[in-house]
Structure 1
Amino acid sequence: MNLDKNTDTVANEADAALQSTFAGLGSWQRLAVVAAIIIGIFIILQIINRFINRQLNSNKIKGKGSYNRIVTVTKLFERIIKIVLTFIGVTIIMSVFGISIAPILATLGVFSLAIGVGAQNLVKDVINGFFIIFEDQYSVGDLVEIEGIEGIVEDVGLRVTKVRDFGKILHIIPNSNISIVSNKERANVRTKIDFYVDNSCDPSFVSEKIKGTIERYKDDARIVMGPNLWGVTENAKDSYKMTLVYYTKQGEQYELEYAIRAEILKTMQRENIKMPIVRNKLIQKEDSDALL
């Protein structure tokens, strides 16, 4: 109760001070003040926006490894500044026209109490959002999996995270619901390629030829580690399986896989390395009739 009284007192005093400031103005003067406030806020926002965009587009900032995180945090603070300036402008304009802002200020004064009673989820969203941003768990542009949803992060806010999946569907996830995040952008991806060879072929000969083929990919800038040929990894009645593995950054593994598979096939054709023959078992008509 004392908190409510103190808040009301401060709000009334602030309202009275603003009302007295504009009390002696005429109608045209009030309109001029309102126009000046709107133009001033618009100019300030434009200056802030241009300054931020200029900094984010500079080569110095783009060259930083934490560029996505810088973009995320900067856009967040830009949004907060816009909200604060807009609120200040609206309250001043209300005072110019003689509208009391005491109820608004009083409401803000007890906002923490209202949050504690009726907006606990909002508090959880905001707190978790701060940890997500400042711990750099993920940033705009990262490929992530959150609560079973896999896609690209389009926006990270204090309350929600927006992820667009590969079906182009935008998922809006409250930050308080995020408990486990798999950031696939910041881990090397392992690609395993299996291929089958006929049992009549010497495994040592096949390994030598395949290793010679993939040797040039060791200097490929897209590859972090490998490719390495493991050798024979499975035996069957008519064939055996060989496996090679390499590591890349997320998103760069697919074109390499297609290229390496093609090179393996070309090498097998050039060196007369036989692939296993797929044999289909034919069922005679008499047998098929007996099965019916």
Structure 2
Amino acid sequence: MGASFEPLKSELSKINWEQIGLNFLQHFLQIILITIFFWILNRIGKRLIRNSFERRDLIENQSARSQTVFAVTNNIFKYSVMFFYIYSILSNLGVPVGTLIAGAGILSVAIGLGTQGIVSDIINGLTILIEGQLRVGDSVTIQAIDGTVVSIGLRTIELRAVDGTLHYLPNRSVSTVSNHSRGTQNVSIFLHISDAFEIDHAKDLLRDQLSNLKSASDKIKSTPVIQAPVIEKNRGYLGIQISFKVKPGYQAAMQTMVLDRCLKILSKENLKIEN
């Protein structure tokens, strides 16, 4: 690491810092004008990007893919403006930016400034976007965190957890992504019937009453499959297994709705369920 700093140190030692200080005072007005110019450029650019998407009704339609592309385009524009702004300021002050990069080498500068993590974030972020692993609005599990993707940037992914917490995950830390928003999702409910001899009766009731479940909500995508008697794997209970498919992102809501309906059906027949 020390050797990689040597070319950079050599170039920095050649810089006349006193002259740069004088340049700052002499070009103070120019620096202010450059700042104003890039601020206006940033505002206009972002507005043009938004208008371009809105003309195609991409944002209003809440398309997950469109929101993702919109967010990434904004990020690329923001970092590009930031780079050219810093370059312009340093050049105006007389800092030989080009000479520094050429003398120290891009790799040495990157290592010296500790930007290898940023580069890794950007590369991994582009990989995620190109492969379409995530989209804004997807329900996912990343690093054991369950939540909804709020934003996908070149450096981080913003993930809103179930409890409302907003997590910022560096792209380089994303190794495994479990996306629950691709294709229909399976939902399973196990009912532990108190009296094992009533399992067949309970199964017939549920099969009859839940046969029209698919038409009850457009979020449910299949007729429930009811199996009984089955043994619950974790605790070895004997009961009924209900399985059905739902629209991505509605697993918890539909599971609660169907479970509530099952409890009401069985309670009318005085069939007890144990936890």
SS in 2 for 1:145: strand
List aligned pairs for 1:1-292, cutoff 5 A. Answer: 36-57=33-54, 60-62=57-59, 63=61, 64=63, 66-91=65-90, 94=92, 99-102=93-96, 104-109=97-102, 110-115=104-109, 117-118=111-112, 119=114, 120-186=116-182, 188-195=184-191, 196=193, 198-201=195-198, 203=200, 205-219=201-215, 220-234=217-231, 241-270=239-268, 272=269, 274-275=271-272
SS in 1 for 2:223: strand
SS in 2 for 1:223: coil
What is the letter of the counterpart of residue 249 of structure 1?
K
SS in 2 for 1:226: coil
For normalisation by structure 1, the TM-score amounts to 0.66
Distance 2:48 2:109 in 1: 34
Structure 1 pair 176–35 and aligned structure 2 pair: CA distance change class (3 A): closer
- Larger Rg computed on CA atoms: 1
CA deviation vs aligned residue, 1:75-121 (integer Å, no higher than 9, x gap): 221222321342254246x2xxxx3131x232344452315654444
Distance 1:128 1:202 in 2: 51
Contact 2:160 2:166 in 1 (8 A): yes
Gaps of 5+ in 2: 1-6, 16-25
Deviation at 1:264, TM superposition (A): 1.9
CA deviation vs aligned residue, 1:208-243 (integer Å, no higher than 9, x gap): 4322322232122111333222232249xxx95112
Deviation at 1:130, TM superposition (A): 2.0
Deviation at 1:46, TM superposition (A): 1.5
Number of equivalent positions: 243
CA-based RMSD: 3.6
For normalisation by structure 2, the TM-score amounts to 0.70
Contact 2:64 2:136 in 1 (8 A): no
**Structure of greater relative contact order (alpha carbons < 8 Å, 6+ residues apart):** 2
What is the letter of the counterpart of residue 271 of structure 2?
K
Distance 2:244 2:161 in 1: 26
Distance 1:233 1:61 in 2: 48
Identity, in percent, stands at 21
Deviation at 1:70, TM superposition (A): 1.2
Structure 1 pair 42–182 and aligned structure 2 pair: CA distance change class (3 A): same
Distance 1:228 1:207 in 2: 11
What is the letter of the counterpart of residue 221 of structure 2?
V
Contact 2:202 2:271 in 1 (8 A): no
What is the letter of the counterpart of residue 221 of structure 1?
D
SS in 2 for 1:151: strand
Contact 2:225 2:243 in 1 (8 A): yes
Contact 1:55 1:61 in 2 (8 A): no
